[in-house]
Amino acid sequence: MIAKRSFPLSRVHRLLESGPVVLVTTARKGKANVMTMSWHTMIDFEPPLVGCVVSDRNHTFGILKATRECAINIPTVELAAQAVGCGNTSGRRVDKFRAFGLTPVAASRIGAPLVGECYANLECKVVDARMAARYNLFILEVVKAWIDPSRKRPRTLHHLGSGEFMVAGGTIRLPSRKK
């Protein structure tokens, strides 16, 4: 694994608004967990706010409510099998870092570990859990971001349903006034 560099918080939206599959890491009582997530959206640019939906049937839901911290880790296609594996298993029964050969890396601002193999890692605090009861929706603030500077065109995964994924293709640029 390449050493990560700090990534500006003002640019975090560029990592998430294309809709990649992400791995959400949490920790409680010395046990770390990983879940796979596709249901997330940017909510604001800076500080970067992210809305994410974590089913209350998932082990992560309770940890997130209790610890109010997680990391969003962005995998590329090379980690597709691990991403699906983390989605098919529960942290109640499986140590997923061990089961899927993922490397926990200490974060700087939160207790949950980062996934070393992912090309980008976002350390997050839960800033609003009021929509968790009704919609399983948590509002996260990204408090620190890291990126592997060697990955210029990360081939992210985008879930199409039932284990089918679109892999990021080429890029085009058009004159836009938007961030």
> Hey, which residues between 33 and 52 contact a second copy (CB under 8 A)?
36, 38-44, 49, 51-52
Bridge partner list, 121: 73, 146
5 interacts with a second copy by CB under 8 A = no
Please state, in angstroms and as integers, the Cα–Cα distance from residue 178 to each residue in 53, 118, 145, 172, 175, following that order.
Answer: 26, 28, 22, 15, 9
Q: Which part of the chain contacts a second copy (CB under 8 A), choosing from 77-85, 92-100, 112-120, 143-151?
A: 77-85
State whether residue 71 is helix, strand or coil. strand
Say which amino acid occupies 3.
A
Which long-range contacts link 133-136 to residues 24+ away (Cβ below 8 Å)?
135/53, 136/53, 136/54, 136/55, 136/56, 136/61
135 backbone dihedrals φ, ψ, rounded to 5°: -120, 5
Q: How far is the CB of 29 from a second copy (least distance, A)?
A: 27
Among 57, 93, 152, 173, binds a second copy (CB under 8 A): 173
Q: Which part of the chain contacts a second copy (CB under 8 A), choosing from 25-33, 68-76, 84-92, 105-113?
A: 84-92
Among 19, 62, 111, 116, binds a second copy (CB under 8 A): 19
Q: What value does the CA radius of gyration of the chain take, rounded to a whole number of Å?
A: 15
131 interacts with a second copy by CB under 8 A = yes
| Closest C-alpha among 161, 20, 2, 23 to residue 96 | 23
How far, in Å, CA of 83 to CA of 96, rounded? Answer: 10
178 interacts with a second copy by CB under 8 A = yes
155 interacts with a second copy by CB under 8 A = yes
1 interacts with a second copy by CB under 8 A = no
Q: How far is the CB of 71 from a second copy (least distance, A)?
A: 18
Binding site for a second copy (CB under 8 A): 11, 13-14, 17-20, 36, 38-44, 49, 51-53, 77, 80-81, 84, 87-88, 131, 135-137, 139, 155-156, 158-179
